[in-house]
Amino acid sequence: MKIAVFSARSYDRTFLSQANERLGNQHELAFLEPRLEAKSATLAAGAPCVCAFVDDHLDAETLATLHDGGTRLVALRSAGYNNVDLAAARALGIVVARVPAYSPEAVAEHTVTLMLSLNRKIYRARDRVREGNFALDGLIGFNMQGRTVGIIGTGLIGLATARILAGFGCRLLASDPVHQPAFEALGGSYVEVPELLRESDIVTLHCPLTTTNHHLIDHATIAGMKRGAMLINTSRGGLIDTRAVINGLKSGAIGTLGLDVYEEEDGMFFSDQSNSMIQDDVFARLLTFPNVLVTGHQAFFTVEAMTSIAETTIRNVSTFEATGRPDHEVQAD
Ligand code: NAI
C-alpha cells in the first residue's frame, strides 16, 4: 500500500524504511516534509494511507481533502490522537490507527530526567562549571527519598514513572478514574486531585488531553498545590494553562517547572527555529525563568521507542490492507 508520510524527518525515514524492510517490504513509502494540514493534504492524493505525527493537523477540512484523494487509513505514529477530528474521520469512512504503547519507559525516564535535572539544577551547574564558577549558592536540591510525588494518570507511562520513583523511595499518590492494582502494589495510594495537589512535592501529568481536562492545571489548581512544588508535564501541553503557571512561578506558588510539551507547540517544536525570533511571548517568558526546564517534545525519542513505533505503524497498515481493520484502531468517543 502507498503510504504518504507527512512531517517526515531524517529519523522517520530511517526507522520507517528499516521497519518496512524487516516486515517484508510490502509498502511504498512516500516521505513528505510538510506537516499535514488542510493546504498540504492534496500532496497525499493517490495514497490510500497517510502516516501522521502529533504536530500534524487532521481537522475536518484536512480529512475531507484526504478522502477526496483516496485516503482510507490514517496511521498515526503516536499514542495521542487529540490532533484528529475522529467524528469527521468516521463520517468520511476514514479509519484511524495509532501506536498505543511503544515504550512507556522512554517517556517515564525522560520525566524523571526532568525531575532530577530541575531538583539538582544540573543545567545551571553545567554552565557555571564551564565558566570556572564552582560556587554552590543557589544549587541546593532535595533528596528524592521520602518525597511525595503525585501522578495524575496511572496508565502505561504513569505506572512506569511510578516504578522508577518507587526505586528512589518516594511516597506515591495518584489520581485516575481507573485504579491499577500494579500501582497499589508499589505502595502507592489513590486520592482525589485536591489531596494529591496539597500533599505532593512533585506533581507529574500522565493523562491524555481530552475535551474535559483542558487546562486541568489552572489558577485554581495551582492555588491548591503545596507551595513551591515542582510541576512536570510530559503528556500534552493543553493540560496546563501556561499563563496561570507563569503567575504561579512569579509568586513562588510553583517552585520549579519541567515541560516536554507546550499548548502552542504546533508549528514550533520539531523544527530548527534558531535563526528566527520566537513569536510566542508566553513561551519566551517561560524561557527566562532559572527554575524552568523545557524540552521540545522529545520524551518518546529513544532508539527502542522509534523502532517500536515504526514496526507497529507498518503492522497497522499491513493488517488494514489484509482485513480492513488495523491492529490498533482509534474509536471515536
Ligand atoms: P494510557 O492510555 O496508558 O493511560 C492514560 C491514563 O490516564 C489512563 O489510566 C486513564 O484512565 C487516565 N486518565 C484519563 N483522564 C484522566 C484524568 N482527567 N485524570 C486522571 N487520569 C486520567 O496512556 P499512556 O501511554 O500512559 O500515555 C499518557 C499520555 O502521555 C498520552 O495520552 C500522551 O498525551 C502522552 N505522551 C507523551 C509523549 C511525549 O513524547 N512527550 C509520548 C507518548 C505519550
Q: Write out the H or E segment, with its range, that includes residue 4.
A: strand 2-5
Q: Is residue 328 part of a domain?
A: no
Q: What is the CATH number of the domain that holds 285?
A: 3.40.50.720
Same domain, 30 and 96: yes
Q: Is residue 332 part of a domain?
A: no
Q: Is residue 178 part of a domain?
A: yes
Question: Is there an atom of ligand 1 within 6 Å of 72 CB?
Answer: no
Helix locations, the chain, DSSP H: 10-22, 60-68, 86-92, 104-120, 122-130, 156-168, 181-185, 193-199, 219-223, 242-251, 281-286, 303-323
Question: Is there an atom of ligand 1 within 6 Å of 108 CB?
Answer: no
- Of the CA atoms within 13 Å of residue 116, those in its CB half-sphere come to 12
Same domain, 137 and 269: yes
Task: Give the 3-state secondary structure of residue 147.
Answer: coil
Same domain, 98 and 110: no
Among protein residues, the one with the nearest Cα to ligand 1's atom 12 is 153
Question: Is there an atom of ligand 1 within 6 Å of 150 CB?
Answer: no
Number of CB atoms found within 10 A of residue 133's CB: 11
pLDDT, position 333:
67
Same domain, 108 and 134: yes
pLDDT, position 82:
87
Same domain, 314 and 206: no
Of the candidates 265, 311, 315, 328, the residue annotated as catalytic is: 265
Nearest ligand 1 atom to the CA of 236 is: 34
Of the candidates 57, 72, 236, 315, the residue annotated as catalytic is: 236
State how far the Cα of 201 lies from the Cα of 152, in Å rounded to an integer: 14
The amino acid that residue 248 corresponds to is G
Same domain, 76 and 210: no
Same domain, 57 and 177: no
Question: Is there an atom of ligand 1 within 6 Å of 234 CB?
Answer: yes
Q: Is residue 329 part of a domain?
A: no
Q: Is residue 333 part of a domain?
A: no
Q: Report CA(235)–ligand 1 centroid distance (Å).
A: 7
Same domain, 124 and 59: no
Q: Is 131 considered catalytic here? A: no
Same domain, 94 and 122: no
The amino acid that residue 145 corresponds to is Q
Same domain, 14 and 124: no
Q: Report CA(210)–ligand 1 centroid distance (Å).
A: 10
What is the count of structural domains for the chain?
2
pLDDT tens per residue, range 4-32: 999 999 999 999 999 999 999 999 999 99
pLDDT, position 134:
98
Q: Is residue 108 part of a domain?
A: yes
Question: Is there an atom of ligand 1 within 6 Å of 104 CB?
Answer: yes
Domain region containing 255: 104-294
Q: Is residue 331 part of a domain?
A: no
245: nearest Cα among 297, 289, 191, 298: 289
Question: Is there an atom of ligand 1 within 6 Å of 296 CB?
Answer: no
Q: Is residue 210 part of a domain?
A: yes
Same domain, 116 and 212: yes
Q: Report CA(127)–ligand 1 centroid distance (Å).
A: 34
Same domain, 112 and 231: yes
State how far the Cα of 282 lies from the Cα of 262, in Å rounded to an integer: 10
Q: Is 236 considered catalytic here? A: yes
Residue linked to cell 475522529: 86
The amino acid that residue 178 corresponds to is V
Q: Is 37 considered catalytic here? A: no
Instruction: Give me the long-range contacts of 261-264 (CB less than 8 A, separation at least 24).
Output: 261/233, 261/234, 261/235, 261/236, 261/237, 261/297, 262/237, 262/286, 262/294, 263/237, 263/238, 264/237
Of the candidates 297, 311, 315, 328, the residue annotated as catalytic is: 297
pLDDT, position 80:
84
Distance of CA 252 to the CA centre of its chain: 26
Residues of the chain with pLDDT under 50: none
